[in-house]
Structure 1
Amino acid sequence: MAGELILLTGGTGHVGYRVLIEALSKGYNVRASVRSEAKIAELKAAKSSQPYLAQLSFVIVPDIGKDGAFDEAVTDVDFIVHVASPIQQPTDDVEAHIIQPAIRGTLSILRSALKQPSIRRVVITSSVVAALPSEPRAFTADNVEPDPHGPYDNDFVAYIASKKLAYNRTRDFIAKEKPNFTVVNIMPTFVVGKNELATTPKSVLSGSNSLPMIPVMGQHNPDGLPAKVCHVDDVAFVHIAALDSGVEGNRNFGVDYRGDKPVEWDDAIDIVKKHFPEEVKKGVFPLGGSLKSLPMPFDATKTEETFGIKFKSYEEQIVSLAGHYAEVVANA
């Protein structure tokens, strides 16, 4: 482990930065692929990066979907952790802005990896939706679905399709190329927890972190979303633990907290009242909102068993996120 080099993509994102710090703290050297010099400055300046700057280097890759984009970046690396991927966003062209970037970005880095014999494993950040069955039923990260086809009803449906397609193309790549390296896909549910690089109230409440805060911030979503959540720390841990040679390759690992009772989004209200009473009194957390909790029978217990861990609870997730939000508001 000591001195082994990881090429990491997506290091300025919510999951990616936490994965970066997890890798550095475990003794790896990391070459972070970024799109600009500004991103390098951001990563260097972050507080959690400070103890590890000697282990951290950078490479600029402006367009991760371009053929050969990572050919130089993979030089002499032992592992690749590919976190970068398009996020769900409003667009008039989901094929161009969501579907194809997800596929091209994944295949681009895999094709570059073929050219570098030192690479032993590639870990890819996928999503629970890559394994989501078309018909409701219990499933695990090992479920495989056929390719979805457009047109897609909305941006979220297109995002789901992009994850399925990127995963299926990864499977096709392994079958056809039979690479010397193995591939591990990490499939988390909604990722919740502190994003250190988010330094404004608006940025804290972005992405999947916005969801459990809907009831806390007095908002309402009666349509609901699957109440499937995991702590960003657990997601980062599994990414780096999966590099261990003792972990079988060409496997998938789900990440999802599963307590004694199903998670309810609105439980975030009582958690915030318990841990942040002063902020509630001050109106930092208005409370009174609601997000309908929908079921999703996803089982990620295999991951806990493989890595000998217990995923952090919904309460721990909310304390991490709400605590960060309160700190950012106080310093605004």
Structure 2
Amino acid sequence: MSSDLVLITGVTGHLGFRTLIFALQAGYRVRAAVRSQSKANTILSNPMFKALNRSSQLSFIIVPDLTVAGAYDEAVKAVNHVIHIASPIANGQTTPEEFQERLITPAVKGTIGMLESALKTDTVSRIVITSSVVAQVPAADFMGKPDYVVEASTRTATPAGPFTNELEAYAASKVTALNETEKWMATQQPQFNVVHIHPSYIIGRDDLVTKSQNVITGTNAVPLRVVLGNDAPYPTPGLSVHNDDVARAHVLALDSTVPGNESFIVSYNPEGTFDGTTWQDATEIVVSEFPEAVAKGLLPNNGKIQSIPLRYDNRKTEETFGFKHQSYAEQVKSVVGHYLELLAQE
């Protein structure tokens, strides 16, 4: 266990909260950057956090706007490591006129701003950054069945736009942030190193969600809408990962034995393959794991979804961090189980 001080951003998100829990369990002292005191209160009042009984390890600092120059200057003082998760996500509601302002600019400025603030200290030794599998390939390939295997080192050129849809703009935000970070590191050669974590569609329980209808949001909605009887509006890349695995990778990446200035793909593949996830399998998993809920009609389980086959190589991650990615069945059990648990309380 480590008592090092870690700054974590994005702790009020699906991944960020789970990463916070794992970091506290690992013994780290955590300074959580939040946008407001009300965000801090969300964490402090959460039943899982309270049951953990680790409040003495946690402090907060308010950073209302991550795009402002020097936004993290105070937050990084005396910090040993940083886990930078905060970044805009696609929510289906961003218009083309807002792509740059709401997705791309905050992703890049927030990340480079963190690096620049850390450069002003002599204590930060490692920054772990949440990237994405969409940061490694052109958006057209991500939606178009490329004939190659994506490795942790795979990169693509920064897209210039204009972008025709939100996924393209979100991908551009991740590609640009990754490329600009690696360019900045090569130019500045700071005292710290960087580890990029590249998750695919994150599936799993979100303990900040307290109402069943709110489970059907974000990436959890991909399998859940199918088991609730809704057809997916479009084909979806066949890549998924358990939220616990992504959070675990972020915390394990703080260890000095993990090589710095490297990237790690976190995404499930069936044993011995690069085949990724077949989303439609959720209906079979639910029949097996939740037969009573299906029989009662709580889970209609008749939605349809088409998977786009993509191949991402996760072997480097499993070898470095020493864990096997949890299966799609475990992912579905986690999110559907949480949905049914909340539904029973309503």
**1:98 correspondence with 2:111:** no
- Picking from 324, 327, 336, the partner of 1:322 is 336
User: How far off is 1:49 after superposition?
Assistant: 1.4
CA distance in 2, matches of 1:42, 1:223: 34
User: How far off is 1:205 after superposition?
Assistant: 1.3
- Picking from 249, 273, 286, the partner of 2:300 is 286
- Picking from 242, 252, 273, the partner of 2:263 is 252
Q: Is the 8 A contact 1:226 1:294 kept in 2?
A: yes
Q: Is the 8 A contact 2:194 2:262 kept in 1?
A: yes
CA distance in 2, matches of 1:2, 1:227: 36
Aligned to 2:167: 156
Percent identity, aligned pairs only, is 44
CA distance in 1, matches of 2:308, 2:117: 40
User: How far off is 1:48 after superposition?
Assistant: 2.2
2:13 partner letter: G
**1:64 correspondence with 2:75:** no
CA distance in 1, matches of 2:94, 2:216: 21
**1:304 correspondence with 2:306:** no
**1:42 correspondence with 2:47:** no
Q: Please state whether the residue corresponding to 2:202 is helix, strand or coil.
A: strand
Q: Is the 8 A contact 2:222 2:232 kept in 1?
A: no
CA distance in 2, matches of 1:150, 1:248: 34
Q: Is the 8 A contact 1:222 1:290 kept in 2?
A: no
- Picking from 231, 243, 252, the partner of 1:232 is 243
1:61-210 matches, cutoff 5 A: 61-89=63-91, 90-92=93-95, 93-133=98-138, 135=141, 136=146, 137-210=148-221
| TM-score normalised according to structure 2 size | 0.93
Aligned to 1:12: 12
Q: Please state whether the residue corresponding to 1:290 is helix, strand or coil.
A: coil
Q: Is the 8 A contact 1:80 1:119 kept in 2?
A: yes
CA distance in 2, matches of 1:221, 1:190: 15
Kindly provide the CA deviation profile for residues 210-237 of structure 1, in whole angstroms up to 9, marking residues without a partner as x: 0011220111126311111100110011
CA distance in 1, matches of 2:70, 2:298: 48
1:20 partner letter: L
Q: Please state whether the residue corresponding to 2:6 is helix, strand or coil.
A: strand
In structure 2, the gaps of 5 or more residues are none
Shifted more, 96-105 versus 42-51: the winner is 42-51
Shifted more, 2-11 versus 216-225: the winner is 216-225
Q: Is the 8 A contact 1:128 1:141 kept in 2?
A: no
1:286 partner letter: P
CA distance in 2, matches of 1:144, 1:241: 24
CA distance in 1, matches of 2:280, 2:94: 30
Q: Please state whether the residue corresponding to 1:291 is helix, strand or coil.
A: coil
Q: Please state whether the residue corresponding to 1:194 is helix, strand or coil.
A: coil
1:166 partner letter: A
Structure 1 runs of 4+ aligned residues shifted over 4 Å read none
CA distance in 1, matches of 2:253, 2:232: 36
User: How far off is 1:281 after superposition?
Assistant: 2.3
CA distance in 2, matches of 1:222, 1:87: 19
Q: Is the 8 A contact 1:3 1:27 kept in 2?
A: yes
1:155 partner letter: E
Q: Please state whether the residue corresponding to 2:129 is helix, strand or coil.
A: strand
Q: Please state whether the residue corresponding to 1:247 is helix, strand or coil.
A: coil
Equivalenced residue count is 332
CA distance in 2, matches of 1:60, 1:271: 42
User: How far off is 1:79 after superposition?
Assistant: 0.3
In structure 1, the gaps of 5 or more residues are none
Aligned to 1:31: 31
